[in-house]
Amino acid sequence: MQLDPVSLAAILAMAASTYFTRIFGYWLVRRTTVGGRMASALEAVPGAILTAIIAPMAFATGPAESGAALITVLLALRLPLIVAVAGGCLAVVALRALLA
């Protein structure tokens, strides 16, 4: 197995940008007391990021992925986010097996 130098460079650049973003975020709010509206906004970030990543795929792919996205949303309304994500993963596997 060989690793393409361009792929390796892309992976390293993504890792560096992720690390920089995380450190910069901590640096930016280190002198700020997080409370009220800021805390609410920061709590909404993980769900917003997952939605931004998953929504285009749910609408651009087949019925199994769209169904799994719907199941994930329904699970997320009642359960913790990690449980909803795990349920969505299981749902896409099951729906692909049933619809294939």
DSSP letter, residue 61? S
Please tell me the distance from the alpha carbon of residue 42 to that of residue 26, in angstroms, as a whole number. Answer: 12
The pTM of the full predicted model, rounded to 2 decimals, is 0.54
Q: Are 95 and 68 in contact (CB under 8 A)?
A: yes
Q: What is the pLDDT along the chain (100 residues), one digit of tens a residue?
A: 688 899 999 999 999 999 998 898 888 878 778 788 888 888 888 888 878 887 888 888 889 999 998 998 899 999 998 999 899 999 999 999 999 7
The contacts of residue 29 (CB under 8 Å, 6+ apart) are 38
Please tell me the distance from the alpha carbon of residue 20 to that of residue 64, in angstroms, as a whole number. Answer: 36
Listed by start position, the domains of the chain span: 1-33, 46-100
